[in-house]
Amino acid sequence: DTAVSQTPKYLVTQMGNDKSIKCEQNLGHDTMYWYKQDSKKFLKIMFSYNNKELIINETVPNRFSPKSPDKAHLNLHINSLELGDSAVYFCASSRLANYGYTFGSGTRLTVV
């Protein structure tokens, strides 16, 4: 019954590898997001998608490529991982602008 589910929960990988994080929401929301939470807990928007279309790309390196096969799914693929990519990545969804976001439980990415 999880509203926004992300997999995997933990990801440990070596520098230079490519990895993907998957996100699915069963709330019927039209907009989905990726947020990055750094070691100081700061939450920063990376991307937002509305009905499968990219709306916001917040100056994220092009090593990060989101893909939305349908409005219930938003995946994040990361190429050539760097140490600085280590963080917790959260997927979220919302029904409309100015309404509450529902966040997933996060994917903790550690690059070694």
Partner 1 sequence: QQQVKQSPQSLIVQKGGIPIINCAYENTAFDYFPWYQQFPGKGPALLIAIRPDVSEKKEGRFTISFNKSAKQFSLHIMDSQPGDSATYFCAAEFQGAQKLVFGQGTRLTINP
| The one-letter amino acid at 110 | T
Interaction of residue 12 with partner 1, rule CB under 8 A: no
Interaction of residue 13 with partner 1, rule CB under 8 A: no
Interaction of residue 110 with partner 1, rule CB under 8 A: no
**Separation CA 6–CA 13 (nearest Å):** 17
Q: Could you tell me the smallest distance in angstroms from the CB atom of residue 65 to partner 1?
A: 19
| The one-letter amino acid at 14 | Q
**Separation CA 96–CA 6 (nearest Å):** 21
The residues in 39-98 that bind partner 1, with binding defined as CB under 8 A, are 40-45, 48, 50, 55-56, 58, 90, 92, 97-98
